[in-house]
Amino acid sequence: MGYITEDKRKVTTQRLREMKQRGEKIAMLTAYDYTMAKMVDSAGIDVILVGDSASNVMAGNQTTLPITLDQMIYHAKSVVRGVQRALVVVDMPFGTYQINDSEAVTNAIKIMKVSHADALKLEGGEEILPQVRHLIEIGIPVMGHLGLTPQSINKFGTYAVRAKEEAEAETRQGGGRG
Protein backbone atom coordinates (compact mmCIF):
# COMPACT_ATOMS: atom_id res chain seq x y z
CA MET A 1 0.00 0.00 0.00
CA GLY A 2 2.23 2.80 1.19
CA TYR A 3 5.53 3.81 2.68
CA ILE A 4 4.14 4.55 6.13
CA THR A 5 1.77 1.60 6.57
CA GLU A 6 0.60 -1.50 4.79
CA ASP A 7 -2.82 -1.20 6.46
CA LYS A 8 -5.32 -0.66 3.66
CA ARG A 9 -8.41 -0.18 5.84
CA LYS A 10 -10.23 3.17 5.61
CA VAL A 11 -9.23 5.52 8.41
CA THR A 12 -12.25 6.59 10.44
CA THR A 13 -12.68 8.69 13.56
CA GLN A 14 -12.99 5.44 15.52
CA ARG A 15 -9.69 4.17 14.12
CA LEU A 16 -8.02 7.46 15.07
CA ARG A 17 -9.32 7.06 18.65
CA GLU A 18 -7.97 3.51 18.77
CA MET A 19 -4.59 4.62 17.39
CA LYS A 20 -4.38 7.34 20.03
CA GLN A 21 -5.29 4.90 22.82
CA ARG A 22 -2.53 2.55 21.66
CA GLY A 23 -0.05 5.44 21.54
CA GLU A 24 0.46 5.09 17.80
CA LYS A 25 1.67 8.02 15.78
CA ILE A 26 -0.90 9.55 13.45
CA ALA A 27 0.42 11.03 10.22
CA MET A 28 -1.37 14.06 8.74
CA LEU A 29 -0.55 16.14 5.67
CA THR A 30 -2.31 18.82 3.66
CA ALA A 31 -3.50 18.45 0.07
CA TYR A 32 -5.56 20.74 -2.15
CA ASP A 33 -6.08 18.69 -5.30
CA TYR A 34 -6.64 15.20 -6.70
CA THR A 35 -3.05 14.48 -7.71
CA MET A 36 -1.48 15.48 -4.40
CA ALA A 37 -4.22 13.66 -2.45
CA LYS A 38 -3.60 10.48 -4.45
CA MET A 39 0.15 10.62 -3.73
CA VAL A 40 -0.31 11.41 -0.04
CA ASP A 41 -2.93 8.70 0.40
CA SER A 42 -0.84 6.09 -1.43
CA ALA A 43 2.06 6.86 0.91
CA GLY A 44 -0.10 5.68 3.82
CA ILE A 45 -0.83 9.02 5.48
CA ASP A 46 -3.69 8.62 7.99
CA VAL A 47 -5.34 12.05 7.73
CA ILE A 48 -5.40 14.53 4.87
CA LEU A 49 -6.34 18.13 5.63
CA VAL A 50 -7.87 20.27 2.94
CA GLY A 51 -6.57 23.48 4.47
CA ASP A 52 -7.84 27.00 4.04
CA SER A 53 -4.19 27.68 3.27
CA ALA A 54 -5.30 26.88 -0.28
CA SER A 55 -6.04 30.61 -0.28
CA ASN A 56 -2.31 31.29 -0.08
CA VAL A 57 -0.85 28.27 -1.83
CA MET A 58 -3.29 27.80 -4.71
CA ALA A 59 -4.72 31.31 -5.20
CA GLY A 60 -1.76 33.49 -4.18
CA ASN A 61 -3.60 35.48 -1.50
CA GLN A 62 -1.65 37.05 1.34
CA THR A 63 -3.91 35.45 3.99
CA THR A 64 -6.40 32.61 4.34
CA LEU A 65 -9.27 35.05 4.87
CA PRO A 66 -10.42 35.48 1.22
CA ILE A 67 -11.12 31.81 0.48
CA THR A 68 -14.83 31.12 0.13
CA LEU A 69 -16.99 28.19 1.15
CA ASP A 70 -17.47 27.18 -2.49
CA GLN A 71 -13.73 27.31 -3.15
CA MET A 72 -13.08 25.05 -0.14
CA ILE A 73 -15.74 22.65 -1.38
CA TYR A 74 -14.08 22.56 -4.81
CA HIS A 75 -10.70 21.65 -3.27
CA ALA A 76 -12.32 19.16 -0.88
CA LYS A 77 -14.15 17.36 -3.70
CA SER A 78 -10.90 17.12 -5.66
CA VAL A 79 -9.06 15.66 -2.67
CA VAL A 80 -11.81 13.20 -1.74
CA ARG A 81 -11.80 11.81 -5.29
CA GLY A 82 -8.09 11.00 -4.92
CA VAL A 83 -8.34 9.24 -1.55
CA GLN A 84 -9.07 5.62 -0.76
CA ARG A 85 -7.70 5.21 2.79
CA ALA A 86 -7.04 8.49 4.59
CA LEU A 87 -9.61 10.38 6.65
CA VAL A 88 -10.27 13.70 4.87
CA VAL A 89 -10.73 16.78 7.05
CA VAL A 90 -11.82 20.11 5.56
CA ASP A 91 -11.15 23.54 7.05
CA MET A 92 -14.24 25.68 7.40
CA PRO A 93 -13.21 29.06 6.01
CA PHE A 94 -13.27 32.31 7.93
CA GLY A 95 -16.76 33.72 8.40
CA THR A 96 -18.62 30.46 7.74
CA TYR A 97 -19.07 29.32 11.34
CA GLN A 98 -18.29 32.20 13.72
CA ILE A 99 -21.63 34.05 13.51
CA ASN A 100 -24.00 31.52 15.10
CA ASP A 101 -24.96 27.85 15.37
CA SER A 102 -27.44 28.01 12.51
CA GLU A 103 -24.98 29.41 9.99
CA ALA A 104 -22.28 27.00 11.15
CA VAL A 105 -24.62 24.03 10.73
CA THR A 106 -25.85 25.13 7.30
CA ASN A 107 -22.32 25.61 5.99
CA ALA A 108 -20.98 22.45 7.63
CA ILE A 109 -23.77 20.34 6.14
CA LYS A 110 -23.09 21.84 2.70
CA ILE A 111 -19.38 20.95 2.91
CA MET A 112 -20.10 17.41 4.09
CA LYS A 113 -22.89 16.70 1.56
CA VAL A 114 -21.19 18.15 -1.49
CA SER A 115 -17.57 17.14 -0.84
CA HIS A 116 -18.13 13.79 0.93
CA ALA A 117 -15.39 14.69 3.42
CA ASP A 118 -15.06 12.76 6.68
CA ALA A 119 -14.73 15.64 9.15
CA LEU A 120 -14.35 19.40 9.51
CA LYS A 121 -11.78 21.60 11.20
CA LEU A 122 -12.60 24.90 12.85
CA GLU A 123 -10.18 27.50 14.15
CA GLY A 124 -10.84 29.05 17.52
CA GLY A 125 -11.24 28.40 21.18
CA GLU A 126 -13.96 28.94 23.73
CA GLU A 127 -15.70 31.46 21.48
CA ILE A 128 -16.71 28.73 19.02
CA LEU A 129 -17.55 25.95 21.48
CA PRO A 130 -21.33 26.36 20.97
CA GLN A 131 -20.92 25.81 17.23
CA VAL A 132 -18.58 22.84 17.74
CA ARG A 133 -20.94 21.21 20.22
CA HIS A 134 -23.87 21.67 17.86
CA LEU A 135 -22.01 20.17 14.90
CA ILE A 136 -20.98 17.15 16.96
CA GLU A 137 -24.54 16.72 18.24
CA ILE A 138 -25.86 16.46 14.67
CA GLY A 139 -23.22 13.91 13.73
CA ILE A 140 -20.48 15.95 12.07
CA PRO A 141 -17.00 15.06 13.36
CA VAL A 142 -15.03 18.19 14.24
CA MET A 143 -11.28 18.58 14.63
CA GLY A 144 -9.90 21.49 16.60
CA HIS A 145 -6.29 22.55 16.59
CA LEU A 146 -3.61 24.27 18.57
CA GLY A 147 -0.80 26.26 17.11
CA LEU A 148 -0.92 28.37 13.98
CA THR A 149 -4.16 30.35 13.72
CA PRO A 150 -4.12 32.05 10.31
CA GLN A 151 -7.78 33.11 10.45
CA SER A 152 -6.81 35.26 13.44
CA ILE A 153 -4.11 37.19 11.56
CA ASN A 154 -5.86 40.50 12.14
CA LYS A 155 -6.40 39.74 15.83
CA PHE A 156 -2.76 38.84 16.55
CA GLY A 157 -1.03 40.68 13.71
CA THR A 158 1.27 37.73 13.06
CA TYR A 159 1.27 34.07 12.10
CA ALA A 160 3.22 33.17 15.23
CA VAL A 161 2.31 29.79 16.70
CA ARG A 162 -0.13 30.07 19.62
CA ALA A 163 -0.72 27.76 22.60
CA LYS A 164 2.83 26.46 22.82
CA GLU A 165 2.60 26.53 26.59
CA GLU A 166 0.12 24.32 28.46
CA ALA A 167 -1.39 27.31 30.29
CA GLU A 168 -2.40 29.05 27.05
CA ALA A 169 -3.73 25.81 25.58
CA GLU A 170 -5.79 25.14 28.69
CA THR A 171 -7.28 28.63 28.83
CA ARG A 172 -8.39 28.16 25.22
CA GLN A 173 -7.19 31.63 24.33
CA GLY A 174 -5.83 32.75 20.98
CA GLY A 175 -6.40 29.55 19.06
CA GLY A 176 -6.75 27.25 22.02
CA ARG A 177 -8.57 23.99 21.92
CA GLY A 178 -11.71 24.21 19.84
In a domain, 175, yes or no: no
Residue 138 belongs to a domain: yes
Is residue 32 in a domain? yes
**Is the pLDDT reported for residue 155 higher than 70?**
no
144 within 8 A of 121, measured Cβ to Cβ:
yes
Give domain status of residue 141, yes or no: yes
pLDDT of amino acid 24: 93
Is the full-model pTM beyond 0.75? yes
Q: Say if 172 falls within a structural domain.
A: no
Q: Which is it for the CA torsion 165, 171, 175, 176, positive or negative?
A: positive
Tell me what pLDDT residue 96 has: 96
| CATH at 64 | 3.20.20.60
> Would you place residue 165 in the very low, low, confident or very high pLDDT band (cuts 50, 70, 90)?
low
Assign 170 a pLDDT band (cuts: 50, 70, 90).
low
Q: Is residue 163 in a domain?
A: no
Q: Is residue 153 part of a domain?
A: no
Task: Tell me: pLDDT of 140 over 80.
Answer: yes
What pLDDT shows up at residue 8?
A: 84
State mean pLDDT over 113-123. 96
Tell me how many domains the chain contains.
1
Neighbours of 41 (CB within 10 A): 23
| CA atoms of 124 and 69, how far apart (whole Å) | 18
Three-point CA angle 148, 27, 76, nearest 5°: 70
Give pLDDT, residue 23.
96
* Domain carrying residue 77: 13-145
Q: What is the pLDDT of residue 7?
A: 79
39 occurs within a structural domain: yes
